[in-house]
Structure 1
Amino acid sequence: MESGGLRRAYGALFGEVDAGGFGPAPEGQLSAEQIVAHLVANDELMIQATEALLAGSTFAYYDLDDIHRPQLDALAAEQGGLRGLTALLHETSERLCGLVDRLGLAAETSVETHLREGFDLIVDEPLPWSRTLDLHARVHLPKHQAQLHLLRP
């Protein structure tokens, strides 16, 4: 498996982040800092799953989109806000893409996957890890890129 599509999705997301000028989030939605913090936390989970597959171990992947807002705020404070979070996201996304490039046939290993993208996508079943990575590149990252875009006044 190669990370080209994933790298392009991250590139588009970083373009949105770098454009800046974000206003406050509407009630009940994530702020720009929370979105980037969520992506960092999600990258860490995907890195753990990918490392487990490379080591020949099993892993379950849970994308906890709305459950951990206090942790997102804590991560944002720890990183000094959006600039620090963006730097960390560059690191985690590069690390994930590097691991994805090494996956080879392990990318087809089924991973117990639990994720929810609003009402558009709900997964609660084993999926080949390549499919989960594809959903991340084609659905998850673009969703958060669009959220960031909407935060601009």
Structure 2
Amino acid sequence: MDSSGLRRAYDELLDEVTAGGFGPPPAGQLTAEQIVAHLAVNDELMSEATEAVLAGAPFAYYDPETLHRGALDALVAEHGGLDGLATLLRATSGRLCALVERLGPTADTPVETHLREGFDLWVDEPLPWSRTLDLHTRVHLPKHLAQLRMLRDGGDA
């Protein structure tokens, strides 16, 4: 499976992270550090599902709702802030992209997917893994890119 679109989405996001200059989030929203931590942990979940698909497992599962702020805050502390988290995200996204490139025809394997992106996207059913990866590329990553840009612009978005 081609990962070029996924790689471009990560490159754009990582360029934004590297630019820095983020302000505090509006009440109840994630900080820039928490957003990057969320993406890194999500990459690990997606990599696990991709590995299960590649291994021919009869059941693969993807549910990013298992992520919670306490775990994100611990990851932020562990990696020493935004620079360390950017390094982590480069590694996790690179690993995910490399796994995606190995999928070939197995990319159409159904994976039990639970995905919620506000009011924009609600999935609670098996989807071909290629479709979930496409949603990650075209919806999930751009949403977090927009959040980061809003944090740089002082929350006016």
Whether the TM-score (by the shorter chain) exceeds 0.5 is yes
The answer on 1:60 being equivalent to 2:67 is no
Distance 2:53 2:120 in 1: 28
Distance 1:22 1:73 in 2: 17
Distance 1:137 1:12 in 2: 11
Cα distance, 1:48 vs structure 2: 0.2
The Cα offsets for residues 75-123 of structure 1, whole Å up to 9 and x where unpaired, read as 0001111111110000000000000000001100000000100111000
Cα distance, 1:18 vs structure 2: 1.3
Cα distance, 1:2 vs structure 2: 1.1
Distance 1:63 1:137 in 2: 15
SS of the aligned residue for 1:151 comes to helix
The residue number in structure 1 matching 2:113 is 113
SS of the aligned residue for 1:64 comes to helix
The Cα offsets for residues 14-69 of structure 1, whole Å up to 9 and x where unpaired, read as 1111111000111000000000000001000000000111111121100228x500
Alignment of 1:69-80 (within 5 A): 69-80=69-80
The residue number in structure 2 matching 1:87 is 87
The answer on 1:136 being equivalent to 2:110 is no
The answer on 1:13 being equivalent to 2:25 is no
Q: TM-score under structure 1 normalisation?
A: 0.97
Distance 2:139 2:16 in 1: 16
The residue number in structure 1 matching 2:40 is 40
Percent identity of the aligned residues?
A: 70
Cα distance, 1:73 vs structure 2: 0.2
Q: TM-score under structure 2 normalisation?
A: 0.94
The answer on 1:50 being equivalent to 2:50 is yes
Cα distance, 1:9 vs structure 2: 0.6
For structure 1, list consecutive stretches of 5 or more residues without a partner in the other structure: none
For structure 2, list consecutive stretches of 5 or more residues without a partner in the other structure: none
SS of the aligned residue for 1:56 comes to coil
Dislocated runs of 4+, deviation >6 Å: none
Give the number of equivalent residue pairs.
152
SS of the aligned residue for 1:22 comes to coil
